[in-house]
Amino acid sequence: MILLVGLGNPGSKYARNRHNAGFHAVEAIADAHGFSPERKKFQGFLREGTIKGQKVITLRPGTFYNEAGNAVGAAAKFYKIPVDDIVVFHDEIDLAPGKVRVKKGGGLAGNNGLKSINAHMGPDFWRVRIGIGHPGRKEAVTNWVLGDFSKAEHEAYYDEVIDRMGSAIPALLSLDDTGAGRFMSGIAQPGAAATEKKPADKKDAPAPSSALATKEPAQKKSSPFDILKALKKD
C-alpha cells in the first residue's frame, strides 16, 4: 500500500492558493483513477483506490499545512505503511513555475509541512516538488504562497501540470529513481510515462515547463477545481 499525501490548508478560503498545490495534485490523481469518495479520517480527508493493481491511498491533512505530520503519522500507523512508501506532494517556491521534481529524503528547505512529517515519520519519504516560482522578495513570500493562482498561471502551465499528475502517477509508484524520472517526463511531456519510452535524442526530450504557455490548450477535462469550488465554507 502506498500513501500519497498532498500538502495544503483545508477550507474554501485557501482552496485555490498556491500553497495548496499538493491538495490539487492528489485530488487530480484520485479523480483520474476513480478512487472512492473522500471521507474524514486520521485528522484529514482520505480516498482509496487501485492504480495498476497497486493499492493506493490519498490523504489531504485537515490539520493545516504546518501540522500535516499529525494526520500522516496516524494514517501510516493504522495501515502499517513504512516511511519509504509515502509520497508527499507540495508547492516549491525555489522551482520555476510548472517545473516538477522528485526526490527521496534530503533537506526540508524550510518547509514546515515537511518538517512536521519528518518529526513523525523520519526523513526518508518521497517528495514531489511542484514549482510555483518565487515572488522575488523574501518579505513577499507569505502573501505569494497564500495567494490564489492567477488566471494567467492557470492558462500558461498550472492546469496542464495538475491534469497530467493522474496519467503520469503509475510510473512513480515503482518508488525508485527510474520511476521518478519517468513520472517527471510524463508531467513535462504527456504520454511519456504511459508509453515507458525514453527520449532518443534532444528533439524527443521533454519540453521545459516554459514551453507549455505556447502550446495549444488541451481539451478541457474535469479539474480538481470543479470539486474545490463545491467545498463548503468552514
One-letter amino acid of 221? K
Domain that includes residue 110, residue range: 2-225
- Euclidean distance between CA atoms 3 and 64, whole angstroms: 18
- For residue 107, the model assigns a pLDDT of 83
Is 17 labelled as part of a ligand binding site?
A: no
Q: How far apart, in whole angstroms, are the C-alpha atoms of residue 211 and residue 205?
A: 12
- How many structural domains are present in the chain? 1
Q: CB–CB of 11/19 below 8 Å?
A: no
Q: pTM score > 0.75 for this model?
A: yes
Residue 230 grid cell = 463545491
The Cα 21–Cα 92 span in angstroms is 9
Cα dist. 198→93, 179, 189, 214, 215 in Å?
28, 12, 11, 24, 22
Mean pLDDT of the 141-159 span: 95
Q: Is residue 130 part of a domain?
A: yes
DSSP the chain: -EEEEE----SGGGTTBGGGHHHHHHHHHHHHTTPPPPEEETTEEEEEEEETTEEEEEEEESS-GGGHHHHHHHHHHHHT--GGGEEEEEEETTS-TT-EEEEES---TT-HHHHHHHHHH-S-SEEEEEE----SSGGGHHHHHTSBPPHHHIIIIIHHHHHHHHHHHHHHTT-SHHHHHHHHHHHHSTTHHHHTPPP-SGGGSPPPGGGGGGSPPPPP---HHHHHHTPPP-
Confirm whether 231 is domain-assigned: no
Q: What is the radius of gyration, based on Cα positions, of the chain?
A: 16
Cα–Cα distance between 153 and 144 in angstroms, integer?
Answer: 13
Would 232 be classed as within a structural domain? no
State mean pLDDT over 71-97: 96
185, part of any domain? yes
- Give the mean pLDDT of the chain: 85
pLDDT at 222 over 60: no
Confidence of residue 18 (pLDDT cuts 50, 70, 90): very high
123-136 average pLDDT score: 96
19-42 pLDDT, tens per residue? 999 999 999 999 999 999 999 999
Q: Does 64 show up as a binding residue in the annotation?
A: yes
In a domain, 233, yes or no: no
pLDDT at 50 over 90: yes
Q: Is 66 annotated as a binding residue?
A: yes
234 in a structural domain = no
Instruction: Quote the CA–CA distance of 115 and 69 in Å, as a whole number.
Output: 8
Q: How confident is the model at residue 108 (pLDDT cuts 50, 70, 90)?
A: confident
Structure confidence by residue, pLDDT tens digits, 170-219:
999 999 999 999 999 999 865 444 444 444 443 433 433 333 333 334 44
User: pLDDT at position 106, please?
Assistant: 83
Say whether 79 counts as a known binding-site residue.
no
Known catalytic residues are 19
Q: Does residue 196 lie in a domain region? A: yes
Q: Residue 204: what pLDDT? A: 39
Inside any domain, residue 151: yes
Q: In what order do the strands lie in the sheet with 39-41?
A: 39-41, 44-51, 54-61, 2-6, 86-92, 126-131, 100-104
C-alpha cell at position 156 = 500558461
Q: Answer whether residue 115 shows pLDDT above 70.
A: yes
> 229 pLDDT exceeds 90?
no
